[in-house]
């Protein structure tokens, strides 16, 4: 069975929409390696803010991160399609990751996770908790959140973070890579 055509392309775009150098990253909000990569990716996009470079973030859920799906729904709900909102809330949530990692939620219920998520959103930007949880449960948020997971399947992504540069996956970058490492990949591409 083919994957259905999504309502909109996967991912949140940060940087130049007409980029010559595109970075696609598949991340999981509960993944410690994704968390480690996140500030470095933001440093990359800030460094190249006046250059034709873009970063597209595809938030997926790995099977061993049971809290990640609901937290991802919250990211999509709060962002409402706005990449800046997504970036800011994702940064905030990554800072809280130890509070919802596997051991922290081992004996907690799904409803406790939803309340925790509402607390995060309220603490981050003062949203109404009830309205936020209602939005998290909306069908369009569900569709938006599953789109990157399906897209990841088409790219044979099975771990996070996974990086593509100009659609190539043989990238000498990992979650520990700093701005200087990224410059070693990007600068030669900009020079051609």
pLDDT over 90 (residue 15): yes
pLDDT over 90 (residue 52): yes
CA–CA separation, 73 vs 141, rounded Å? Answer: 6
User: If pLDDT is split at 50, 70 and 90, which confidence band does 4 have?
Assistant: confident
Laid out side by side, the sheet with 12-15 consists of 12-15, 53-59, 21-27, 162-165
User: If pLDDT is split at 50, 70 and 90, which confidence band does 44 have?
Assistant: very high
Is the Cα torsion angle 31, 36, 42, 48 positive or negative in sign? negative
- SS3 for 26? strand
CB 138 within 8 A of CB 77: yes
Task: Please list, in sequence order, all residues whose beta carbon lies within 8 angstroms of the beta carbon of residue 127, skipping any fewer than 6 positions away.
Answer: 78, 121
Q: Supply φ then ψ for residue 26, to 5 degrees.
A: -105, 120
CA–CA separation, 140 vs 76, rounded Å? Answer: 10
Burial class (CB in 10 A: 0-12, 13-18, 19+), 23: buried
168: β partners: 165
CA–CA separation, 52 vs 17, rounded Å? Answer: 8
**pLDDT on residue 6:** 79
CA–CA separation, 59 vs 65, rounded Å? Answer: 13
Domains and CATH numbers, the chain: 12-191 (3.40.30.10)
CB 85 within 8 A of CB 57: no
Spatial CA neighbour of 158 closest among 26, 1, 10: 26
User: If pLDDT is split at 50, 70 and 90, which confidence band does 8 have?
Assistant: confident
Q: Are strands 53-59 and 21-27 parallel, antiparallel or unpaired?
A: parallel
Query: In this prediction, what percent of the chain has a pLDDT beyond 90?
Result: 93
The 10s digit of each residue's pLDDT in 136-181 is: 999 999 999 999 999 999 999 999 999 999 999 989 999 999 999 9
**pLDDT on residue 1:** 64
pLDDT over 90 (residue 113): yes
CB 71 within 8 A of CB 117: yes
The model carries a pTM of 0.95
């Amino acid at each position: 069975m083919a994957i259905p055509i999504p309502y909109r392309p996967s991912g949140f775009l940060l940087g130049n929409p007409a980029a010559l150098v595109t970075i696609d990253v598949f991340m999981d909000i509960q993944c410690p390696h994704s968390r480690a990569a996140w500030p470095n990716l933001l440093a990359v996009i800030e460094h190249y803010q006046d250059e034709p470079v873009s970063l597209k973030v595809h938030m997926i859920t790995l099977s061993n991160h049971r809290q990640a799906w609901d937290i991802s729904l919250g990211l999509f709900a709060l962002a409402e399609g706005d990449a800046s909102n997504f970036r800011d809330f994702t940064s905030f949530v990554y800072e809280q990751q130890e509070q919802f990692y596997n051991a922290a939620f081992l004996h907690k219920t799904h409803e406790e996770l939803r309340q925790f998520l509402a607390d995060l959103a309220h603490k981050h930007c003062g949203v109404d908790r009830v309205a936020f949880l209602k939005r998290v449960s909306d069908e369009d948020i569900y569709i938006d959140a599953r789109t990157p997971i399906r897209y990841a399947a088409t790219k044979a992504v099975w771990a996070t973070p996974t990086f593509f540069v100009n659609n190539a996956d043989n990238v000498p970058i990992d979650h520990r890579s700093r701005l200087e490492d990224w410059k070693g990949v990007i600068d030669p591409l900009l020079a051609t």
